[in-house]
């Protein structure tokens, strides 16, 4: 184990800005991509449903 | 697909644990080198995704199959994201180690071109209304751009670059400690799993968007309930 206490871990030997800046932005971007995808899927499903409902009405 | 997502999550946890807790501090770069556990996997991935995207684009162009074109479009945003992350983590690594965020070095410049290729591919596809033509135009762009991949990969050998040479290659023993290598490979595998999960998820959205009038889409259980 490299770290004797949490402070040392978060300090990253003086490179905290760079290391945590990389980790933070990576996590943020990946999370955002997943959120956008889920939203896109919801919108697409709603669109298909609406279209299908309209089609069913027309054929009556 | 949930399996790939779960695998990506587990591998990331394992990779970060190895990278941030087990791997020792680097003799030259201190703890700043730990950016490697993100930088190398995302950079590899940004190149792999482009090759896979160009492959699907070629299949779509040759056989005129719709799904391959959709696969290519599904990969582009994730590839662009990884290219951006590669440049971002690279900048944050370059600042403390080289003293600069950015240099017009062959490796860095060709990776920037890769990001622009991804963005150009997406812009071109969304700019053309006719879907089939958009797919074809995008495929041609993707195929032309694939020459950039070997340029990125070999740039550190062909030119005198500030960027260091490859630490891991197929022909030689890797020039790094085993535990660091394990951490990096775990993260690379996690990036693969993540990409597969996200690309499949996105291609499902694209299918729903494009094929919404077909009977089989209307019969999906997500639609009927």
pLDDT of residue B186: 86
Residue B39 contacts A where some CB pair is shorter than 8 Å: yes
B108 burial via Cβ count (<10 Å: 0-12, 13-18, 19+): buried
- The ipTM is 0.78
Nearest-CB residue to A18 (from B96, B213, B222): B96
User: For the segment B54-90, what is each residue's pLDDT rounded down to a tens digit?
Assistant: 999 999 888 888 888 888 989 999 999 999 998 888 8
Which residues of chain A does B38 touch, with a Cβ-Cβ cutoff of 8 Å? 22-23, 26
Give yes or no for a contact between B59 and B65, defined as CB atoms under 8 angstroms apart. Answer: yes
Per-residue model confidence (pLDDT) at position B14? 76
For residues B16 and B121, the answer to whether their CB atoms sit within 8 Å is no
Mean pLDDT in chain A?
80
- For residue B2, pLDDT over 90 is answered with no
Give the position of tokens 């978060």. A10
The verdict on a CB contact (< 8 Å) between A15 and B96 is yes
Q: Is B35 on the interface with A (CB under 8 A)?
A: yes
A24-45 per-position pLDDT tens digit: 888 888 888 889 989 988 888 8
> What residue of A is the nearest CA neighbor of B197?
A34
- Within an 8 Å CB–CB cutoff, is residue B96 touching chain A? yes
Query: How many helices, marked H, and strands, marked E, lie in chain A?
Result: 2, 0
Which residue in A50, A2, A34 sits closest to B212, CA to CA? A50
* Distance separating alpha carbons of residues B187 and B23, to the nearest angstrom: 13
Domain ranges of chain A: 6-58
């Amino acid at each position: 184990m490299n770290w004797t206490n949490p402070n040392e871990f978060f300090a990253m030997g003086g490179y905290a800005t760079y290391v945590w800046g990389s980790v933070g932005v990576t996590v943020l971007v990946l999370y955002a991509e997943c959120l956008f995808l889920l939203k896109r899927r919801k919108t697409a499903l709603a669109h298909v449903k609406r279209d299908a409902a309209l089609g069913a009405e027309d054929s009556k | 697909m949930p399996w790939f997502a779960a695998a990506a999550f587990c591998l990331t946890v394992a990779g970060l644990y190895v990278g941030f807790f087990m791997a020792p501090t680097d003799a030259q770069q201190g703890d700043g080198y730990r950016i490697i556990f993100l930088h190398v996997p995302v950079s590899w991935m940004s190149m792999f995704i482009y090759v896979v995207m160009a492959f699907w684009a070629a299949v779509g162009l040759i056989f005129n199959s719709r799904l391959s074109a959709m696969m290519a479009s599904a990969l582009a945003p994730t590839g662009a994201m990884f290219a951006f992350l590669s440049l971002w983590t690279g900048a944050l690594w370059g600042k403390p180690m080289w003293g600069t965020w950015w240099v017009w070095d062959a490796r860095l410049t060709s990776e920037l071109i890769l990001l622009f290729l991804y963005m150009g591919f997406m812009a071109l596809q969304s700019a053309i209304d006719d879907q089939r033509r958009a797919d074809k135009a995008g495929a041609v762009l993707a195929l032309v751009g694939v020459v950039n991949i070997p340029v990125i990969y070999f740039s550190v050998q062909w030119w005198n670059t500030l960027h260091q040479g490859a630490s891991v290659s197929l022909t030689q023993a890797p020039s790094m400690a085993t535990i660091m290598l394990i951490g990096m490979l775990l993260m690379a595998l996690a990036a693969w799993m993540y990409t597969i999960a996200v690309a499949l998820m996105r291609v499902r959205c694209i299918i729903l968007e494009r094929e919404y009038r077909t009977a089989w889409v209307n019969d999906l259980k997500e639609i009927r309930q």
